[in-house]
A and B are shown apart, each in its own frame.
Chain A
Amino acid sequence: MAHRNGLKPVERALRIAAALLSSQYAYMLEYRAEIALWALSGVLPLIMLAVWQGSAGAAAAGLNPQGLGRYFLAAFVVRQFSVVWLIHVFEEDALQGKLSPQLLQPLQPLWRYLAAHVAEQATRVPFVALMLAAVLVLKPGLLWLPSAGQLLLGIVAIQAAFVLRFLLQTLVAMLCFWSERAAALDRLLLIPYLFLSGLVAPLESFPPAVRRLAECTPFPAMVSFPAKLLAGESVDVAGGFLNLALWCAVLFPLSRLLWQAGVRRYSAMGA
């Protein structure tokens, strides 16, 4: 079947990816005003930076102002490009039956959502650049240029963190097949993400026991690791990527299983 139209599987996948990405990008461009506002709502790391810089806790944890500035600015960028909103659209699509036509297509519907997220990230680029420029005009001291290697590794790590977050949210989104308000569960998932990922406080400032506990969860890999890479702090690069890969390897088969079980239950709207 895959050889239909005389296309090799790789060629077919590339074609589908190109079509999905370009159509979703065009769609996202329509919503630039909204996306600009979403980008603006990601200011939390910058607010936290302002509090941390004047706090007694930073000095006690041995964090210098310059390092803090770089870390939170990097965390801001990481957060901007690893936003996942799958569950909110998926809930609506599942409840209103919009998922049904997608199930008829010879393509796993989740790919479409993934492409939408990637396209949204591309739409965000100018807004994030503008916000960074504003920060640097106000605080020129924060400026630093990561080396090409750091930048490349940082971007790969951000994308890996994004995939991990996407997989984790897919797990919760699959509960939409069983419950009408699965999106409420995402609120719970957001709490450990907020406090254990390093988004509001660098992991160095945690008490050792809490830090070890946090590092047993997937959350530090989602913000702390990519942010440190970008900020040029010394991190265990191989260990960090291995950690990300392992978590993805755990979550991917789980989400597949839940998808299969869920679709069997799915009866469009009115069930």
Chain B
Amino acid sequence: MAQRLRRYGRTLLSFWATSLEAELEYQLNLVIELLAVLGNLAGSLFVLVLLAGPSGQLGGWSWNSALVVLGIYTLLDGFTSCVLQPNLSKIVSHVQNGTLDFVLLKPIDSQFWLSTRSFSPWGLPGVIAGLALIGWALVHNGEALSAGGMALAVALLVAGGLILYSLWFLLAGLSIWFVKVWNATEVLRYTLVAGRYPISAYPPALRLVFTLVLPVAFLTTVPAEALLGRASAAWALGSLAAAAISLVGTRLFWQFALRHYTSASS
């Protein structure tokens, strides 16, 4: 087992090293991505100011705590650009062109290969900006976080990341049956924008949708509450359970999908 883990770790390193080399050919992209992240952040802050109005509150969240939510959104968006988008959006073309066959023949887990083969450094500005915003907002919020609280917050952030990954993988994997849904992940990306604001800013019916159907609440609001030191046991457990279920779910889904994969007809 340990040997297997080491082998996968080494593979991951060489995957990402080669992608970095390839991507660094396009250095102008760094400038563009930096500008895009800063522009998007400035715009989001501007809209947040408008929404909060003179009261400085949104859905019962103070200005600084709403900033934590926005920071987590920015962080997860960067994560999406770094790992999820460059990998999972390619599953469709693998199915379409029949190159999935080559992936399946490799002596490595196909889900692992498909999920980690590429790494795009252009999401890193978003990750850094998100972390900076979270840090800034937490310092200005003025409440010291205990070590246990911090550990819980990190665990919930990881759970959020895993839920996000599972959603992406599920939608991208559907292309095994429906090649035409290649842009389903774009729909996901545009609806997850709802995670920019705390879940309580939405009307009750939508809160339900954003918790059960499209788990935006687990992605940003729940980790933000933990970071602010007011995590509720029920939500934290719910989030961890949702992450575990969705991860096992993607595994079963992928095994099921592969049984239905018949390669591209030529």
A interface residue numbers (CB < 8 A to B)? 31, 33-34, 37-38, 40-44, 47, 50-61, 138, 179-181, 184-185, 187-188, 191-192, 194-195, 200-201, 205-206, 210
**Chain A: CB-nearest residue to B202:** A50
**7 closest Cβ contacts across the A-B interface?**
A57-B53, A195-B43, A60-B53, A191-B39, A56-B53, A41-B190, A56-B55
Contact call B51/A191, Cβ cutoff below 8 A = no
| Stretch among B129-137, B141-149, B177-185, B247-255 lining the A interface | B177-185
Contact call A51/B54, Cβ cutoff below 8 A = no
Given contacts A184-B29, A194-B43, contact A44 B187 (CB under 8 A): no
Given contacts A47-B194, A52-B51, A57-B50, contact A191 B40 (CB under 8 A): yes
CB < 8 Å neighbour of B181 from A33, A181, A192, A206: A33
- Judge if B46 is at the interface, Cβ distance under 8 Å: yes
Contact call B52/A54, Cβ cutoff below 8 A = no
Contact call B43/A191, Cβ cutoff below 8 A = yes
- How many whole Å from B42's CB to the nearest CB in chain A? 8
Given contacts A40-B187, A56-B57, contact A188 B202 (CB under 8 A): no
Given contacts A187-B36, A188-B36, A191-B36, contact A56 B54 (CB under 8 A): yes
**B-side interface residues, number (CB < 8 Å):** 41
CB < 8 Å neighbour of B190 from A44, A50, A54: A44
Given contacts A33-B181, A38-B183, A41-B190, contact A188 B32 (CB under 8 A): yes
- How many whole Å from B170's CB to the nearest CB in chain A? 15
- How many whole Å from B239's CB to the nearest CB in chain A? 22
- Judge if B169 is at the interface, Cβ distance under 8 Å: no
The docked-state distance in angstroms from the alpha carbon of A23 to that of B39 is 39
Contact call A51/B197, Cβ cutoff below 8 A = yes
Contact call A185/B32, Cβ cutoff below 8 A = yes
**Residues in A neighbouring B189, C-beta threshold 8 A:** 41
Contact call A57/B26, Cβ cutoff below 8 A = no
- How many whole Å from A230's CB to the nearest CB in chain B? 22
Contact call B43/A42, Cβ cutoff below 8 A = no
**Residues in B neighbouring A181, C-beta threshold 8 A:** 26, 28-29
**Residues in A neighbouring B35, C-beta threshold 8 A:** 188
B interface residue numbers (CB < 8 A to A)? 26, 28-29, 32-33, 35-36, 39-40, 43, 46-47, 49-55, 57-59, 178, 180-184, 186-187, 189-191, 193-194, 197, 201-203, 205-206
CB < 8 Å neighbour of B193 from A34, A47, A52, A205: A47
The docked-state distance in angstroms from the alpha carbon of A179 to that of B184 is 29
Contact call A201/B36, Cβ cutoff below 8 A = no
Contact call B43/A61, Cβ cutoff below 8 A = no
**Residues in A neighbouring B201, C-beta threshold 8 A:** 51, 54-55
CB < 8 Å neighbour of A55 from B32, B43, B52, B178: B52
- How many whole Å from B88's CB to the nearest CB in chain A? 16
**Residues in A neighbouring B50, C-beta threshold 8 A:** 57, 61, 201, 205-206
**Residues in B neighbouring A191, C-beta threshold 8 A:** 36, 39-40, 43
**Residues in B neighbouring A60, C-beta threshold 8 A:** 53-55
Contact call B54/A34, Cβ cutoff below 8 A = no
**Residues in B neighbouring A41, C-beta threshold 8 A:** 183, 186-187, 189-191
The docked-state distance in angstroms from the alpha carbon of A51 to that of B26 is 38
**Residues in A neighbouring B39, C-beta threshold 8 A:** 188, 191-192
Scoring B53, B54, B57 by chain A CB atoms within 10 A of each residue's CB, the highest score goes to: B53
19 contacts between A and B (CB under 8 A): A37-B183, A37-B184, A38-B183, A47-B193, A47-B194, A51-B201, A52-B51, A54-B59, A55-B58, A56-B52, A57-B50, A57-B51, A59-B53, A184-B32, A184-B33, A191-B36, A192-B39, A195-B47, A200-B47
The docked-state distance in angstroms from the alpha carbon of A56 to that of B202 is 13
The docked-state distance in angstroms from the alpha carbon of A181 to that of B26 is 8
